[in-house]
Amino acid sequence: MNSKKKTDLKKEIDKKENTKKKTKKKSGLRENVEAIIVAIILALFIRTFIVQAFKIPSGSMKDTLLIGDHILVNKFIYGVKIPFTDKTIIPFKDPEHDDIVVFKFPLDPKKDFIKRVVGVAGDVIECHDKKVYVNGKLQNHDFVKHEYPEIIPGNLSKRDNFGPLTVPPDSIFVMGDNRDNSHDGRFWGFVNLKVVKGKAFIIYWSWDKENFGVRWRRIGDILR
């Protein structure tokens, strides 16, 4: 084989090797892109239909939830909704008494609120001197917190005295556990089931901004 043929053969071999390398690079890049796309779609699916993370910005649910708690909300438990709408296509069950729920604030749907269910459709709710009654039965729960001893008359504020109120169909009545510091159903009414996003069930992270530290003992707490 003369030198020219050897040179041509070497060029052909080098060309094939370069082609193989480019093909491998393209194949590897394509696999990475596909993996990223699948991961994004899966994350969006989980966030839309199954579980979503929320951060607690206020003390209205103290001491159940503290400012800086990060929670997971089960979006599947009350049914499957059409994305970007409030329409439920596969209903499972409605919120129950004492569930901690996340919902769109009725007066400003761009905001998400988290409160505890006190009444469901048909319940009669009333409050006398900070004591809440549902269908005439006094509600006495350990999770309820009162920070101030004074009682505000009902003609001045609905904080400590209100009702009776009857919860309308397809609605719930909610209150914060920190009853003296919660902007809830006492002041703005009922929550339609359409705007309920899900039920809070666990604290996965908790950051104490004031003391600049992690609240390790709260991580993993199941919400009740």
Query: pLDDT per residue over 120-142, tens digit each?
Result: 999 999 999 999 999 999 999 99
| Among the listed residues 31, 27, 81, 87, the one whose alpha carbon sits nearest the alpha carbon of residue 52 | 81
Which candidate in 60, 171, 182, 206 is catalytic? 60
Distance CA 40, CA 184 (A): 35
pLDDT at 31: 75
Summarize pLDDT for 131-179 with one digit per residue, the tens: 999 999 999 999 999 999 999 999 999 999 999 999 999 999 999 999 9
Distance of CA 132 to CAs 33, 99, 192, 221, Å? 56, 16, 21, 27
Annotated catalytic residue 5: no
Annotated catalytic residue 115: yes
**What is the model's pTM?**
0.82
Distance CA 192, CA 171 (A): 4
Query: How are beta strands 191-192 and 171-175 bridged, if at all?
Result: antiparallel
Neighbours of 10 (CB within 10 A): 10
Q: Can you list the residues of the chain whose pLDDT is less than 70?
A: 1-28, 42-49
Which candidate in 81, 115, 197, 199 is catalytic? 115
CB-based contacts of 105: which residues, under 8 Å, 6+ apart?
111, 112, 113
